[in-house]
Structure 1
Amino acid sequence: MPLDVFLLWANKLPAAQKCVGQNKLQISHRPATYSTQLTHSSAFTSSSASSSLALIHRLLSFAMACHSTLLLEAAAGTAVASSKANTCRPCPPCRFAFRSVSTGRFQMEVKAGWSSVRADHGSTSVKEFDVPLLSAGQVVDQLKAFEQKRLRKPSNVAMYSSIFGGITTDFSAMVVPLDDHMVHRGHGVFDTAAIMNGYLYELDQHLDRFIRSAAMAKINPPFDSSIIRNILIRTASASRCSQGALRYWLSAGPGDFYLSPSGCLQSALYAVAYETRLPEFKGCKVVTSSIPIKSPQFAIMKSVNYLPNVLSKMEAEENEAFAGIWLDDEGYIAEGPNMNVAFVTEEKELLMPQFDKILSGCTAKRVLVLAEKLVEERKLRRVRLGKVTVQEGKRAREMMLIGSGILVKPVIQWDQDIISDGKEGSVTEALFNLIVEDMRSGPPSVRVPVPY
């Protein structure tokens, strides 16, 4: 197997042709064709190198011949010498360590030390590494060991899988087959319901959208809606989670690695219940997203293809913002990466973009219903859906994001524009309190008890 990636760490890098960034040198070489392949019998020795620079030069050549990327990291205070060997300055003791991260059966470790100004090389060791063939039991042991290393270990978690036909609370067993078409082709849909004080909030509303998304994705569920509903409730119960979320997926199922799902034996259902905290009511900044919005056909479907959403979120974080705001093909305000947007206009209207080109958020639709209470109290004049321009949005009295994970989150800045006085709005706060109250003590139509 070719050595695909080469990593070199140095406590002190004595010589380099070019240093970039923070004491890092990265050299990539990808020829159109190459014939050199590194096998378990290949070896590299540094005994013939007469200087530290000569050693580095040989290592670079070796990496390039292997169609690889070489990364050198130097500590602060590194002495950088000329690229000519005869001008290389003596250097203090240093060590290099190489590690192959390819899937081949070869791993090379090279350690070179300088103990004097003569730059004589120390020891060189080459070690073979066999990728083990594991039994099913050994795989389970490795998964358990991996979970023990997690920095953030989730609590009160349970997973259902139609593949193994039951629920597990062992996090290391919460796996999905690699040949599942949801994994390698993105052919799947999902949805989420919140858990509050031992009740599933808007389970039926989310489940209805879940089934609609599956129909649009041409996935026939393995069970009817009533059985799926029962499975979801039992999964939440097994988790012992009283406040959190229940997320569930419908996949075309495992079968093969082709594009068409025709080789899939049956669709698959997965569900996970896990603990979360109640989101805080705090103002945030948003930015206009430069990531292209999904076409309406895919935007109104809650599919697992969230790459545009993720990139939009990452772009926002790179600009020290909470979320990106998408505009539709006509330039009107659409939605956030996983939340709806709403405004309180100067006329005291609660205005939300219509759902014809975006996902119809269950929480957003519930907020529209609860907002009628504020109309009765004359805190709002009316509630409506419609087209919203960027100018209207930025001139609004209040701006908010709405979703099951954030509930109602105030926006106090959009790009460089401050929304109103730059403070969380009173209507936004009232809607946040209404949705929390609804989750805690709302009618049976939105609260399903979990039988722990």
Structure 2
Amino acid sequence: MAEAAELQAYLEALQAVQAMEAAAERQEAEAGVLRAAVEEVARVRQLVLRLPDKVRRKAMVPYGKHAFFEGELVHTNELMVDLGCGYSLEASAVEAAAVLGRRQAAAEAALAAAEARLAELRARAGAVGQVTMSNEEGEGFFEIRQEYEESEELLRAAAAAAGGAGGGGGGGMETASTSGRCQASRACRSARHAWRVPPARVLAVRVAADIRGIEDFGRLHREPIPGPRSAEPGVVIGHRTKPTPLLSAGLMVERLQKAMTAYGAKHYSAFYSSTIGGIVTDPALILIPLDDQFVCKGYGVADCATLRDGYVYLLDVHLARLVAACEHLGLALPFSVPELERIILDTAAASGKLNGQLRFWVTPGRGGFTPLQLGGLEPSFYCLCVSDTNELERTEGWDAMLVTDDPIQKTSVTSVMSNQHLLTSIAQVAADAKNCQVAIFTDSEGFVQHAAGYNLCILTQGDALIFPPFDNAPPSVTLARMLELFPAERDRSPNDVLINEVQQRKLHISEVLAAKECFLVSTTFLIAPVKSVDGALIADGAPGLTSLALHYMLDNDMAPPGVGYVSPYHTAVPYGYMSGMRSQLV
């Protein structure tokens, strides 16, 4: 048992050293990038300061990627400073040098932090020590051996065995005794060798880069781990548990950063919280208090708008729906509507992203966990910019799963966008298990209630567009905009938009299966065609012309207006404000 414990401790130390060495290599690479950035900014800054020394300077002007021609730099005190996101600032050489100086200072601070972290990792790795494993041949093995000492009992037993085989008188006895001692010595050596060789006592572990973890080596030991004699049956043995760590604030942030998912690290670009009163761009700091009534009780309102090429699409309409939902629930707004709009736009600007989605929530704020503690003294507002554009393969439709045994019950809040998605989320999990992309709910009579997170529409064989009432789902902003646009699109493309009339009425699932086309409407995906329900194909199972035409109609409508044009459906994001452009400061 002592050998197994030592081996486990050794492997834990080995893995710790390897992890710290890998982290040190990554930190060294990051420090190298920062070091190069500092040198580059310093070099450019010195060049900018020297430019105004002469009115004209000779230069080689790039002509394409592979050619240069001689030219001159004039107006050497007039520079354009790149601020990012397509914006530039006209500045003098001194002003440009000041901007570069701030960038150099920021890069040097980041470099200092990276080098400090690197030194810490190296110190920690050195403290653990250089761990090596080798056997007598130096082949990268480690042996745990327990020596067996020679004993008089073993000698006498070996001698007796040899004497019994020899027989005879005194001389024979002496001979036997001598022979017995030799055989006893060989037996002792053999016994010692036999004690070291069996697999139960000798573990050979190859040290290589593909060590899979301590739990894999644990399978080599087949003896049950004994517990204390005083332990009762069924009680977890104490030495198999580990103490729960008490974290400092700094260590908590470090672990949050390590625990961030790949999707979140890539797409969670900026987050505003009225609880902290500002915006953060580190995805690990996207946090909502556990006692926020929206988290622990589902009390709150949510909405979502699309960010397209630096403009927020239909922001005013989404904010109006948010305000109406708050009034319906009797939920106070934490800010005025213009202030909410400004926070949403500033969050988008802080993200530095031109495309994605803006999700925002209004909650009663922090409270308690009992029914009597409802918050409301300080309502909260949260906004998250997600850079995922949710692109779909438009040539393929979705498979739907029918939910008939657990219909949605209509209440006074079913038409409010909130986090009351437990039922639809469970249905979506079941649909995913069946390789379906969406769950469609129907009532006991087979009428469509809701498609989890989407509004379902069909195009009948008679070219009528039908969708169910908003009794069990919030009214759709995207669907309303689609209904406004399609008449003009039908006039422009009569062979693609095959809609003669529009009906909002109860829709039976049999009509869905008999439809010419079926599709879902949402802010996230715009139009998503549905090709089957519970394995039964709709029409020929391919996306229809009308579905595709309506999607690209909405997609074109989301594109921002040209330069010099103003659109009531698009709100520009003030990227210049967050990056310091003076003309954008208010």
Within-5 A mapping of 1:58-207: 126=239, 129-147=242-260, 150=262, 153-155=265-267, 157-207=269-319
Residues 114 and 332 (structure 1), Cα distance of their counterparts in 2 relative to 1, 3 Å cut: closer
Tell me the equivalent position of 1:256: 368
SS at match of 2:385: strand
C-alpha deviation, 1:210, in angstroms: 1.2
CA distance in 2, matches of 1:342, 1:229: 31
One-letter identity of the residue aligned with 1:355: F
CA distance in 2, matches of 1:158, 1:114: 49
1:246 matched to 2:365 = no
Tell me the equivalent position of 2:399: 285
SS at match of 2:427: helix
1:416 matched to 2:535 = yes
CA distance in 2, matches of 1:112, 1:411: 50
CA contact (8 A) 1:285 1:415 kept: yes
Residues 278 and 318 (structure 1), Cα distance of their counterparts in 2 relative to 1, 3 Å cut: closer
Tell me the equivalent position of 1:318: 433
1:372 matched to 2:487 = yes
One-letter identity of the residue aligned with 2:537: I
Tell me the equivalent position of 1:392: 511
CA distance in 1, matches of 2:313, 2:220: 66
CA distance in 2, matches of 1:232, 1:270: 9
C-alpha deviation, 1:329, in angstroms: 6.1
One-letter identity of the residue aligned with 1:244: G
SS at match of 1:298: coil
CA distance in 1, matches of 2:223, 2:459: 74
1:345 matched to 2:460 = yes
CA contact (8 A) 1:343 1:351 kept: yes
User: Which of residues 469, 478, 499 is equivalent to 1:363?
Assistant: 478
Residues 358 and 144 (structure 1), Cα distance of their counterparts in 2 relative to 1, 3 Å cut: closer
Residues 92 and 363 (structure 1), Cα distance of their counterparts in 2 relative to 1, 3 Å cut: farther
Tell me the equivalent position of 1:220: 332
C-alpha deviation, 1:114, in angstroms: 6.7
One-letter identity of the residue aligned with 2:418: S
Tell me the equivalent position of 2:129: none
CA distance in 2, matches of 1:238, 1:198: 12
1:331 matched to 2:446 = yes
Tell me the equivalent position of 2:573: 450
One-letter identity of the residue aligned with 2:380: A
Tell me the alpha carbon deviations over residues 375-407 of structure 1, each in whole angstroms, 9 at most, x when there is no partner. Answer: 435432122322211111111110001101111
Normalised to the residue count of structure 2, the TM-score between the two structures is 0.54
C-alpha deviation, 1:136, in angstroms: 2.9
Residues 328 and 233 (structure 1), Cα distance of their counterparts in 2 relative to 1, 3 Å cut: farther
Which has the bigger relative contact order, CA under 8 A and spacing at least 6? 1
One-letter identity of the residue aligned with 2:503: R
SS at match of 1:347: coil
CA distance in 2, matches of 1:372, 1:278: 27
CA distance in 2, matches of 1:180, 1:237: 26
C-alpha deviation, 1:258, in angstroms: 1.8
Residues 189 and 122 (structure 1), Cα distance of their counterparts in 2 relative to 1, 3 Å cut: closer
| Unmatched segments (≥5 aa) in structure 1 | 1-90, 96-108
Residues 329 and 188 (structure 1), Cα distance of their counterparts in 2 relative to 1, 3 Å cut: farther
Residues 387 and 134 (structure 1), Cα distance of their counterparts in 2 relative to 1, 3 Å cut: same
Tell me the alpha carbon deviations over residues 158-191 of structure 1, each in whole angstroms, 9 at most, x when there is no partner. Answer: 0000001111101121111111111111111111
CA contact (8 A) 1:332 1:388 kept: yes
What percent identity do the matched residue pairs reach?
Answer: 27
Tell me the alpha carbon deviations over residues 30-87 of structure 1, each in whole angstroms, 9 at most, x when there is no partner. Answer: xxxxxxxxxxxxxxxxxxxxxxxxxxxxxxxxxxxxxxxxxxxxxxxxxxxxxxxxxx
Deviates further, 301-310 or 353-362: 353-362
CA distance in 2, matches of 1:227, 1:277: 26
One-letter identity of the residue aligned with 1:430: A
Tell me the equivalent position of 2:500: 381
Normalised to the residue count of structure 1, the TM-score between the two structures is 0.70
Q: Cα RMSD over matched residues?
A: 2.9
C-alpha deviation, 1:219, in angstroms: 1.6
One-letter identity of the residue aligned with 1:361: S
CA distance in 2, matches of 1:304, 1:122: 47
Residues 127 and 439 (structure 1), Cα distance of their counterparts in 2 relative to 1, 3 Å cut: same
One-letter identity of the residue aligned with 1:299: T
CA contact (8 A) 1:252 1:261 kept: no
Deviates further, 323-332 or 174-183: 323-332
Tell me the equivalent position of 1:307: 422
Count of aligned positions: 344
C-alpha deviation, 1:356, in angstroms: 3.6
CA contact (8 A) 2:293 2:375 kept: no
Asked which structure has the greater CA Rg, the reply is 2
C-alpha deviation, 1:224, in angstroms: 1.5
CA contact (8 A) 2:357 2:389 kept: no
SS at match of 1:232: helix
SS at match of 1:271: strand
SS at match of 2:331: coil
SS at match of 1:304: coil
